[in-house]
Structure 1
Amino acid sequence: MADELDLLRTADPVPAGGPHYGDGPLDHTAERHLARLLHDTPRPRPRPRSRRLVWSLAAALAAAVTALAVLQGGPAGTPAVAAPRPLAVRAHSTPVPLADVAELAAAAARDGSPALRQGTHVQSWSLGMSDGRPPVTLPEERVVRWAADGTHTEVVVATDPARPGRPVLTDDGDRTRPVEDGHVLSRRTFPPMWGDAPPYGTPPHDPARLRTYLTELAGGGTRTLTTPELLDATRELLDNWTLGARETAALAALLAEAPGLRPAGRVTDRLGRTGQAYVLDAAPGGRRMLILDPATGTVLGLETTFTRDDPEYGVRAGDVMDYSAWMR
């Protein structure tokens, strides 16, 4: 409910009087592995399935709008949710090279603040697809926090920041239905989970060691990560950890060395934050856009758009395939 959403957003996960390591170890790996099977490995086109498919955050434009016109809720027949459009780079904005952002991130990390925290706060939009029905957008907000005893809690609510107070679509098994903004989809507490391997192990703040960490997160081996693999590993890292300044600087250094990431200019992300966009045009399965805070190197969001039409699933080139926005 809306009251629970307000409590979620105002909660202090690390109160001043709380125990040491009150923000301790985290994760929802089972959830991430499932999501990774469904959407973290981009494909040129969705594989036909008899059941609904979900790609992390996304929105098919025209087809989704058509579906939402049918699935209405709220006063005056207000659609339950609208499909987000691809982020647009501001005209005439000056692109900032990734190397410059990496330098600024390193400077911002000198005092070591803010600190690394295990846990995450992410807003996502999921593209729900099924045979014979147009795709629809399923927005969710997830907060994961850890306790000193190694347990962690995960709260997921249905909400769309672009449409506060409006009904939100959610998936309920084999059907899609509108729910109240802030409706709690799940609240779970997990037993203690410890380990040194990613994503449980603490991410290092040295670029070389962080590259090894992300390689293991992407499946291991001694190979050099491709840029799409680096972006996928970054997504999983941020779905488990809220990076501190030093880890952010190390990640920015790795991204600055990634081939193919083109500085595109300034954008306003889906939470209203200003960032710099970096585009990977030749990515498998879609065009990737990484959004960074240019002053600190913090990853604000990651978007993938389709690069070609797929009439079977009602999507067109340029439609958003997925989007994640991370918060502290």
Structure 2
Amino acid sequence: MADELELLRRANPVSSGDPRFGDGPLGHEAERHLSRLMGPSADERPRPGRFLPAHGSLGRLLRGPRPRRTRLVWALATTAAVAVTSLVLLLAGPSTTPAVAAPRPLVVRADSTPVPLDQLAERAEEAAAEGSSGLRKGTHVQSWSMGMSEDEPPITLPVERIVRWNADDSHTELVVATDPRHPGRPVLSEGDGDSHLVDDGHVISEQTFPPSWSDAPPESPPPHDAKRLSAYLQDAQHTDTPLTTPELLDATRLLLDTWTLGTREDAALVRLLADAEGLRPVGQVTDRLGRSGQAYVYDATGARQMLILDPVTGAVLGLESTATVAEPEYGLKAGDVMDYSAWMR
């Protein structure tokens, strides 16, 4: 290091005690030394695709650090770009490219007329009498669920799940990351405890399960009359007492995550829901898959549940849970959608 410092001192064009310090022009020797300090001469400049060798200690001192510094600058610029991009992806609205924003609560059409559940149950029974679509084991559901923690802001993870049962009672389950509100755009997913963006349609899991011969609900076929369906759902929820309205909505989700109902089962379920306390009609909504439905709301402590039914057949289209009380420790605000499921036929 001492030799290198001495070389640097000799390269100093004007000593600190020189009377020309800061005023006079540089001499020929000083200019040559300054040029060496500023960069390689024309005959020393690297050609494309080749590295410039360092000559001696001064060469290592002056030219060695430059590529590393350049890489550091690019690394910092890249890190900043990734940080800014990530922030935009997490916070941006619908006009941005990635699709990671949390869904807003469904809005009831102001000019719509609420249809009482009793009336919709009658429509469903008429539809079942005209012709019944068959009951099928398996499901196709799109869901949005909120993940929360004490040290990270809440995130919404949209997934699509398809479960198909085979003749031998084995079944396959395919789960992909996708958001039908923004087809083809990146989707926020989670794996190994960390959230990250993935391509639309990214396969989260694909599994095949061996045959199951369980005859307990919800594995066994659901009945198609309201009284027996009530007992079936109680069994599925492992209780001997009549289900409360929140329990009935949870049991409905469990049922539809296992079976695709036929029109007779739809009618029985709507009749059961019509007898539930506190489930009130609010009007017409358009669900997150663009389907028109009648909405029914149950207000619980800290949350509101909205059930969306087909206005003709009574089939369950969706179920939404929205926070009505903020929980600042988790970053949860009143009006945030905590989970939403949309079932498809």
- What TM-score, normalized by structure 2, do the two folds share? 0.72
Name the structure 2 match of 1:309: 326
Gap change, CA 1:319 and 1:242, over 3 Å in 2: same
Name the structure 1 match of 2:34: none
How far apart, CA to CA, are the structure 1 residues paired with 2:211 and 2:98?
41
Larger Cα Rg: Structure 1 or Structure 2? 2
**Shift of residue 318, structure 1, vs aligned partner:** 1.4
Highest relative contact order (Cα 8 Å, sep 6+), 1 or 2?
A: 1
8 Å contact kept, 2:90–2:101: no
Gap change, CA 1:156 and 1:292, over 3 Å in 2: same
How far apart, CA to CA, are the structure 2 residues paired with 1:251 and 1:68?
44
* Post-superposition CA distance 1:241-272 (Å, at most 9, x none): 00000000000100111110110000000000
8 Å contact kept, 1:228–1:284: no
Name the structure 2 match of 1:204: 223
Name the structure 1 match of 2:148: 129
Three-state SS of the structure 2 residue aligned to 1:297 is coil
How far apart, CA to CA, are the structure 2 residues paired with 1:85 and 1:72?
14
**Shift of residue 82, structure 1, vs aligned partner:** 1.3
8 Å contact kept, 1:68–1:80: no
How far apart, CA to CA, are the structure 2 residues paired with 1:262 and 1:244?
25
Gap change, CA 1:327 and 1:77, over 3 Å in 2: closer
8 Å contact kept, 2:99–2:182: no
Runs of 4+ in 1 over 6 A off after TM superposition: none
Matches within 5 A, 1:47-62: none
Name the structure 1 match of 2:46: none
**RMSD of aligned residue pairs (Cα, Å):** 1.9
Name the structure 2 match of 1:56: none
Name the structure 1 match of 2:312: 295
* Post-superposition CA distance 1:138-175 (Å, at most 9, x none): 10000000010111000000000001010001101121
Name the structure 1 match of 2:100: 81
Residue ranges of structure 2 left out of the alignment (5+ in a row): 1-84
Three-state SS of the structure 1 residue aligned to 2:333 is coil
8 Å contact kept, 1:112–1:244: no
How many residues are paired up? 259
8 Å contact kept, 2:218–2:236: yes
Name the structure 2 match of 1:172: 191
Residue ranges of structure 1 left out of the alignment (5+ in a row): 1-65
Gap change, CA 1:67 and 1:319, over 3 Å in 2: farther
Name the structure 2 match of 1:110: 129
Three-state SS of the structure 2 residue aligned to 1:94 is coil
Amino acid at match of 1:161: P
Structure 1 or 2: larger helix share? 2
- What TM-score, normalized by structure 1, do the two folds share? 0.76
**Shift of residue 214, structure 1, vs aligned partner:** 0.6
8 Å contact kept, 1:167–1:178: yes
Structure 1 vs Structure 2: percent identity of aligned residues?
66
